[in-house]
């Protein structure tokens, strides 16, 4: 013999029926904290903040970036190497 029971209820109703605690307030509080941390972190990864942190590391880094991009694009002159 086979018996099939189909229950149509929301997750909240199922938790209430089974006597499980309501975790919505905790989830809401945690999501608010998570969102606040994400917003704080996003400011550190803005293009301006990244460039500022990179350029303050080494005073000549701007020149090195320019040389690197010019060599990637084939726009830079190749340095003459002394022949051996």
Q: And the tokens for 22?
A: 């309501």
**Taking the domains of the chain in order of start, what are their residue ranges?**
11-73
pLDDT value of position 81:
58
Give the DSSP H or E segment for 84. none
- pTM here is 0.42
Q: Is 1 helix (H, G, I), strand (E, B) or coil?
A: coil
pLDDT at 14 over 80: yes
pLDDT at 61 over 80: no
Spatial distance between the Cα atoms of 45 and 51, rounded to a whole number of angstroms:
10
Per-residue pLDDT band for 82 (boundaries 50, 70, 90) equals: low
Spatial distance between the Cα atoms of 8 and 12, rounded to a whole number of angstroms:
12
pLDDT in tens, 17-41: 999 998 889 999 999 999 999 888 8
């Amino acid at each position: 013999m086979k018996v099939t029971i189909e229950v149509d209820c929301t997750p909240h109703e199922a938790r209430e029926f089974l006597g499980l605690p309501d975790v919505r307030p905790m989830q809401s509080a945690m999501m608010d904290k998570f969102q606040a941390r994400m917003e704080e972190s996003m400011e550190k990864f803005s293009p301006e903040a990244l460039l500022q942190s990179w350029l303050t590391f080494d005073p000549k880094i701007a020149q090195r970036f320019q040389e690197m991009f010019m060599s990637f694009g084939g726009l830079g002159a190749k340095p003459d190497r002394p022949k051996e």
